[in-house]
């Protein structure tokens, strides 16, 4: 088949095939997202019928005895994500500002690949470091009953989110036109005033995108949190709950999905948790997308 | 450029065709066509053990093919009565109702102890506590005792470590220790019990944290942790778990694991069960964290 094509009308044929292939792959990703949502909804929504609403938002998660409250898991995930981002955001933006605005060229050339390397570290490896180093250290340093706590998870997740935040925020800062900086310096602003008063605000929407994608990365992370948070489905009672064991939605799905009977209530509730996660990250990504689009329009306006 | 693409496409197609052909061939090597099939089903606790036995036995007896599935002890015994399987795995003795059901169908159930399962309660090596009653352990895991000083230790908070809820060990510990073996008891693990995904996680945290108390299958215990002596309800003899105390039944947190057959096993099933009781198969039992049967 192929050889005949090659002889007679090779170029148009192969080009046609390639165009179609690319087209199909483009459509496929849309189809896959659609199929995943349909699958999640069809497997997860029965839980809303099978488990009464009061039980779904009760106090206990103990599925083998029919306690299906997703409330401890939801709040565990949110508490860890928010704390992780609070830790990662200042560090991430600081690093981005340093790489983009302050560091001399040769340091920049070393730092950028290193940050990207950090992004490539498998989270299981970070989890190991967490268990062997961070958990014992935090227990002694903070005098906690156990180092397997939400805070340990938040530290690790912050660590995981930093490379995402740095590389996107750094891009955003690089996209700020040089004329902004020149104008600020010409008006007599110091370097610090230029960065803080002009460059960073001009890159604001890009930095917000970085924040959103960082949140997405943190929310979806599974392995590292499962290894260091202790996985106790406690309903957080206050801020000190961060220093106690917690359980996240992702860790629950990962550790229980393998053993659950297909079609059981437990199975449906796990998919419901998956739906909740999907909705969260969809929202976060949608916000990030809108923000980065707005940034593009702004850049176009500036160029014209 | 173009010819490269064509070659690549041909290669890819060829590879797909090849892989499609080769997979069924891999599963059935023509050299050894199995003639005897043994269906084995039941207890989830025993699935890994039963699989390991089946794999080793099949590699030595290529004419035998053993399929192992889980589903729970009850499922295994039901399938045995349906005559869909040959051997049921049971992590508890056969119940009287099951014996009665079998009698109605004209089946006599035979149970054979093939391994034992014991759970050791462990603490940090520096913890001065070295024995606890079953009631004390239960109260600790229910969250009623929260400080080591209440059971004769230092003034430290107690951190409770447990296996994940999908582990057979978790369920057995819940029934035997937390609920003290009482049927209909609705006590649960305290919500602040840490659920760790692996045995290694429990051993690592217990060997590092002087506040911790955990439990795990006896075979998984390493020298980095201290094993507690446990006394049964109403007894004041504290017993350390060992192969001997588990086999003579004096250590309270232990149970027998059974294989159940219809009538006295014969033929290939008998050969298989005899092999399971051999020292070679019982070594697999220790490797997987269970306690071998002493004879």
* 3 state SS for B121-153: EEECCCCCCCEEEHHHHHHHHHCCCCEHHHHCC
Percent over 90 (pLDDT), chain B: 49
Inform me whether the pLDDT recorded for A87 exceeds 80.
Answer: yes
DSSP-based three-state secondary structure for B119 = strand
Among the listed residues A178, A2, A215, the one whose alpha carbon sits nearest the alpha carbon of residue A101: A178
Residue B265 token pair: 């096993």
pLDDT digits (tens, 9 = 90+) for B174-190: 989 999 888 778 888 99
Q: Domain range for residue B128?
A: 119-254
Q: Is A13 on the interface with B (CB under 8 A)?
A: no
- C-alpha count within 13 angstroms, C-beta hemisphere, residue B33: 1
What is the distance between the alpha carbons of residues B186 and B12, in angstroms, rounded to a whole number?
A: 59
Reduced to 3 states (helix: H, G, I; strand: E, B; else coil), residue B37 is strand
Q: Is residue A172 domain-shared with residue A100, that is, in the same domain?
A: yes
Is A170 found in the same domain as A249?
A: yes
Residues B250 and B269 placed together within one structural domain of the fold:
no
Q: Which chain B positions have a beta carbon within 8 Å of A68's beta carbon?
A: none
| Together in a domain, A191 and A272 | yes
Q: What pLDDT does A302 receive?
A: 60
Residue B157 and residue B181 in one domain? yes
In a domain, B2, yes or no: no
A129 shares a domain with A51: yes
Asked if the structure places residue B15 within a domain, the reply is no
Nearest to A245 among B166, B189, B194 (CB): B194
The reply to whether A145 and A254 lie within a common domain is: yes
Task: Check CB contact under 8 Å for B6 and A11.
Answer: no
CA dist A166 and A138 (Å) reads: 26
Cβ-Cβ contacts under 8 Å for A21 (sequence gap 6 or more): none
- Work out the pLDDT band at A13, boundaries 50, 70, 90: confident
User: Which residues lie below 8 Å from residue B101, measured CB to CB, with a gap of 6+?
Assistant: B81
Q: What is the DSSP string of B204-263?
A: HHHHH-TTEEEEEEGGG--TTSEEPEEE-TT----B---HHHHHTT-SSSEEEEEEEEES
Q: Which residue from A243, A301, A254 is spatially nearest to A277, judged by alpha carbons?
A: A254
CA distance A115 to chain B (A): 30
Distance CA A34, CA B41 (A): 38
Statement to judge: residues A52 and A170 lie in one domain: yes
Which residues in B have their CB inside 8 Å of a CB on A? 2-3, 5-6, 9-10, 44, 156-159, 164-166, 171, 186, 188-189, 191-197, 201, 204-205, 208-209, 211-212
Question: Which residue of A2, A6, A233 is in closest CB contact with B191?
Answer: A233
Shared domain for B51 and B139, answered yes or no, is no
Distance to chain B for A15, nearest Cα, Å: 10
B192 to chain A nearest CA, in Å? Answer: 5
- For chain B, say whether A237 makes contact (Cβ under 8 Å): no
Q: Are residues B72 and B98 in the same domain?
A: yes
Radius of gyration of chain A from Cα atoms?
Answer: 24
Asked whether residue B234 carries a pLDDT value surpassing 50, the answer given is yes
Q: Are residues A193 and A274 in the same domain?
A: yes
> What domain range includes position A152?
46-303
Q: Which residues of B touch A231 (CB under 8 A)?
A: 164, 194-197
Using CB atoms, pick whichever of B158, B197, B205 lies closest to residue A255: B197
Do A84 and A230 sit in the same domain of this protein? yes
Q: Is B131's pLDDT higher than 50?
A: yes
Residue A134 lies in a domain: yes
- Give B15-35 pLDDT, tens digit per residue: 444 444 444 444 444 455 668
Contact A64 B171 (CB under 8 A): yes
Q: Given this model, what pLDDT does residue A296 score?
A: 62
pTM over 0.90: no
Chain A, window 76-135: residues with a beta carbon less than 8 angstroms from a chain B beta carbon = 131-132, 135
Residues in CB range of B272: below 8 A, 6 or more apart: B38, B57, B64, B66, B87
Determine, yes or no, domain membership for A61: yes
Q: Are residues A148 and A291 in the same domain?
A: yes
CB contact under 8 A, B5 and A11: no
Whether pLDDT at A55 is above 90: no
Which residue of B194, B197, B198, B211 to mutate against A (max A Cβ within 10 Å)? B194
A90 and A198 in a single domain? The answer is yes
Q: Write the CATH number for A237.
A: 1.10.3720.10
* Statement to judge: residues B67 and B191 lie in one domain: no
Q: Is residue B18 part of a domain?
A: no
Band the pLDDT of A148: cuts 50, 70, 90.
Answer: very high
d(CA B87, CA B76): 8
Q: Residue A301: what pLDDT?
A: 62
Please check whether residue A256 touches B, CB under 8 A. Answer: yes
In a domain, A1, yes or no: no
Residues B151 and B64 in one domain: no
Q: Quick one: B211 and B242 in the same domain?
A: yes
Task: Give chain B's length.
Answer: 295
* Residues A64 and A191 placed together within one structural domain of the fold: yes
| Residue A14 contacts B where some CB pair is shorter than 8 Å | yes
Same domain for B249 and B123, yes or no, is: yes
* Domain count within chain A: 2
Predicted local confidence at residue A258, as pLDDT: 74
Contact A145 B157 (CB under 8 A): yes
Query: How many residue pairs bridge chain A and chain B with CB atoms within 8 Å of each other?
Result: 86
Determine, for residues B201 and A227 on separate chains, whether the beta-carbon distance falls below 8 Å. yes
Are residue B112 and residue B133 in the same domain, yes or no? no
Q: How far apart are CA A303 and CA A212, in angstroms?
A: 26
| CB-CB neighbours of A245 under 10 Å | 31
* A117 domain-assigned: yes
Statement to judge: residues A24 and A81 lie in one domain: no
Is position B17 within any domain?
A: no
Residues of A within 8 A of B197 (CB-CB) are 226-227, 231, 255
Co-location of B245 and B128 in the same domain: yes
Q: What is the mean pLDDT of residues A175-189?
A: 92
pLDDT score recorded for residue B185: 80
Taking the CA of residue A201 and the nearest CA in chain B, the distance in Å comes to: 44
The CATH number assigned to the domain holding B66 equals: 3.40.190.10
Q: Structure tokens of B31? A: 């050299």
For residue A126, count CB atoms less than 10 angstroms from its CB and return exposed for 0-12, middle for 13-18, buried for 19 or more. Answer: buried
B35-64: average pLDDT:
90
Taking CA–CA distances from B167, the nearest residue in chain A reads A259
Compute CA distances A193 → A46, A93, A175, whole Å: 57, 16, 19
* B257 Cβ contact partners less than 8 Å away, ≥ 6 residues apart: B43, B45, B46, B49, B89, B90, B91, B113, B114, B115, B116, B117, B290
Instruction: Kindly state whether residue B154 falls inside one of the protein's structural domains.
Output: yes
Q: How far is A233 from chain B (nearest CA, A)?
A: 6
The sign one gets for the Cα dihedral B188, B193, B196, B201 is: negative
Q: Check residue B135 and give its pLDDT.
A: 92
Q: Number of structural domains, chain B? A: 2
- Domain-located, residue A92: yes
- Indicate if B228 and B150 belong to the same structural domain: yes
CB contact under 8 A, A231 and B10: no
Give the pLDDT band (50/70/90) at residue A30.
Answer: very high
Nearest-neighbour CA in chain B from A187: distance (Å): 56
Flag whether B14 is in a domain. Answer: no
Specify if A4 maps to a domain: no
Same domain, B60 and B161: no
pLDDT for the residue numbered B15: 46
ipTM score assigned to the predicted complex? 0.79
As a whole number of Å, the CA-based R_g of chain B is 24
pLDDT value for A186: 94
On whether any CB of chain B is under 8 Å from the CB of A259, the answer is yes
**Domain annotation covers residue B6:** no
Q: Is B72 domain-assigned?
A: yes
């Amino acid at each position: 088949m192929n050889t005949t094509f090659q002889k007679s009308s090779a170029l148009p044929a192969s080009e046609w095939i390639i165009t179609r292939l690319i087209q199909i792959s483009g459509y496929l990703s849309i189809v896959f997202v659609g199929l995943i949502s349909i699958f999640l909804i069809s497997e997860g929504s029965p839980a809303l019928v099978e488990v009464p609403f009061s039980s779904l938002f009760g106090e206990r998660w103990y599925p083998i005895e029919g306690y299906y409250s997703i409330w401890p898991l939801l709040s565990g995930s949110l508490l860890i994500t928010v704390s992780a981002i609070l830790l990662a955001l200042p560090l991430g933006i600081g690093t981005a500002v340093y790489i983009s605005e302050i560091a001399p060229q040769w340091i920049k050339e070393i730092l950028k690949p290193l940050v990207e390397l950090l992004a490539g570290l498998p989270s299981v490896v970070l989890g190991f470091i967490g268990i062997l180093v961070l958990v014992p250290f935090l227990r002694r340093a903070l005098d906690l009953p156990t180092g397997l706590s939400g805070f340990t998870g938040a530290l690790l997740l912050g660590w995981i989110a930093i490379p995402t935040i740095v590389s996107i925020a750094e891009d955003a800062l690089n996209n700020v036109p040089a004329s902004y900086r020149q104008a600020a310096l010409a008006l007599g602003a110091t370097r610090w005033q230029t960065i803080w008063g002009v460059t960073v605000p001009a890159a604001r929407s890009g930095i917000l995108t970085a924040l959103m994608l960082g949140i997405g990365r943190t929310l979806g992370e599974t392995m590292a949190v499962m290894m260091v948070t202790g996985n106790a489905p406690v309903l957080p009672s206050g801020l000190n709950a961060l220093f106690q064991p917690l359980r996240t939605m992702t860790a629950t799905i990962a550790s229980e999905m393998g053993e659950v009977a297909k079609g059981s209530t437990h199975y449906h509730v796990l998919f419901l948790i998956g739906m909740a996660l999907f909705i969260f990250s969809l929202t976060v990504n949608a916000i990030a997308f809108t923000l980065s689009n707005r940034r593009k329009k702004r850049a176009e306006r500036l160029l014209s | 450029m173009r010819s490269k693409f064509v070659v690549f496409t041909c290669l890819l197609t060829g590879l797909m065709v090849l892989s499609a052909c080769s997979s069924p061939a891999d599963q059935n090597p023509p050299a050894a066509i199995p003639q005897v099939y043994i269906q084995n089903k039941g207890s989830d606790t025993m699935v890994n053990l039963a699989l390991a036995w089946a794999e080793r036995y099949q590699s030595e007896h290529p004419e035998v093919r053993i399929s192992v599935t889980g589903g729970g002890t009850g499922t295994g015994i039901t399938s045995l009565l349906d005559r869909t399987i040959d051997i049921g795995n049971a992590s508890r003795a056969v119940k009287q109702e099951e014996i009665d059901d079998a009698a109605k169908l004209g089946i006599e159930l035979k149970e054979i102890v093939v391994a034992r399962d014991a759970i050791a309660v462990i603490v940090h090596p520096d913890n001065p506590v070295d024995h606890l009653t079953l009631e004390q352990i239960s109260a600790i895991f229910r969250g009623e005792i929260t400080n080591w000083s209440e059971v004769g230790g230092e003034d430290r908070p107690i951190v409770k470590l447990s296996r994940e809820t999908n582990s057979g060990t978790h369920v057995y510990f819940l029934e035997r220790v937390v609920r003290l073996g009482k049927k209909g008891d609705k006590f649960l693990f305290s919500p602040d019990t840490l659920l760790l995904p692996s045995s290694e996680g429990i051993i690592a945290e217990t060997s590092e944290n002087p506040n911790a108390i955990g439990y795990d299958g006896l075979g998984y215990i390493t020298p980095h942790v201290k094993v507690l002596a446990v006394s049964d309800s109403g007894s004041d003899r504290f017993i350390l778990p060992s192969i001997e105390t588990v086999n003579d039944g004096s250590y309270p947190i232990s149970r027998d694991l059974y294989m159940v057959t219809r009538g006295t096993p014969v033929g290939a099933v008998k050969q298989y069960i005899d092999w399971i009781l051999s020292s070679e198969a019982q070594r697999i039992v220790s490797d997987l964290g269970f306690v071998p049967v002493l004879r």
